[in-house]
Structure 1
Amino acid sequence: MNDVPTHHMVYGTLRDFITGEELVDTDDERIRQDLSRMMVEKLGYNKEELEPRCFIETLFNRQFVRSNIELAVTLKGFGKKFLVIRYGAGSLVSRERSAIAAARVLEKSYQIPLAVVTNGRDAELLDTATKEVLATGMEAIPTRNRAEKMLAELEFRAPAEGKKREGEMRILNAFDVEVCCRSI
């Protein structure tokens, strides 16, 4: 079971919709579970196509940060992740750049072309190459059928390497540091 920062209300435990794993039940985790349920029940993805709780760890200036990715999506038979979904309460625009950075460095052999940022009520679909907002609203998250059609148009760029990769990792480190729960 995951550690939970002390500012979260803990209601007990719940079962992960995708894996069945027991997780700490918080308001944020309930929204994550709703996202997973929506991806399967409303948008048509198979549970096997969704990888929950991916993460990227960074360490810069003695600051260790674990950047979480709620879901990474790979269509069955395609073999590459084409979309990452990151959740966070509040403003979406403030989360765009870190979602793009995560999509650019999660995989070692290519950059994931699409990212979604969501607060559970609203969402933005982002092109990770151009940083452009492609669509807004929860309906911006592509259905499985739409995703199949989009795959032919998506560009899976070469992985960010060297200074470019380090820059993306630094962005994650700076944007995702948790200061609210640290003792000062």
Structure 2
Amino acid sequence: MRVPKPHHLIYGTLEDYLTGEELTDTDDERIRQELQRMMVEEKGYRREELTPRLKIETLFTRSFVTSTIEITITCNQKQTLIVRYGPGSMVSRERAAVAAARVLNPEYRIPFAVVTNGRDAELLDTRTGKILGYGLHSIPSRETIETLLNQVEYLPPLKGEQRERELRILNAFDVERCCF
């Protein structure tokens, strides 16, 4: 039996910027923490508007996948924006981020998603899947999101086959195949 090789350097533990929870300290987690810090200190969100590490679990063709949403932003009592992080190319993460925003909330579809590798970012309209902006500066500030929300309609949740299709997309894009 082959044992998976770890693909992350572990430096110990660190304290989560938003919750104070103790987390495993890896390069990826350090970037996630910087994203949290940026959202509060540079983009103007209140800590209580940010929810870290929400999960969506899927099981299709014997592949159980837990998809993590790094940050979910709530404004005016509604989830407004999700942030998904992953190293490398962002284009390969766009569709999964849109799928996650469409199914995360059971009452409505979240209108915006951000994909980022920590150095660059894309802001996505989850209704159309179109890219609204490029670069870390395209991540909307608290003030900007208020303006965007005046121009957007919260769509009803997906049901039946449409919801299942989005969950299948999320499952396929987020399955881990590595480390042997």
TM-score band, normalised by the shorter chain? Answer: over 0.9
Match of residue 89 from structure 2:
91
Instruction: Count the aligned residue pairs.
Output: 176
One-letter amino acid of the counterpart of residue 104, structure 2: L
TM-score, with length taken from structure 2: 0.96
Aligned to 1:56: 56
Q: Distance in 1 between matches of 2:84 and 2:177?
A: 19
The answer for the alignment partner of 1:12 in structure 2 is 12
Structure 2: distance between partners of 1:99 and 1:86: 7
Question: Deviations 1:83-114 (Å, cap 9, x if unpaired)?
Answer: 00000000011100000000000000100000
- Corresponding residue for 1:153? 151
The match for 1:114 is 112
Which runs of no fewer than 5 residues in structure 2 stay unpaired? none
| CA distance in 1: counterparts of 2:80 and 2:35, whole angstroms | 17
4+ long deviations beyond 4 Å: none
Distance in structure 2 (CA, Å) of the matches to 1:180 and 1:8 = 12
State the AA in 2 paired with 1:170.
R
Q: Which amino acid is the alignment partner of residue 93 of structure 1? A: V
What percentage of aligned pairs have identical amino acids? 61
User: 2:100 maps to what in 1?
Assistant: 102
Aligned to 1:166: 164
Unaligned runs of 5+ residues in structure 1 are none
| 1:135-146 to 2 correspondences below 5 Å | 135-146=133-144
Residue 179 of structure 1 aligns to a residue whose secondary structure is coil
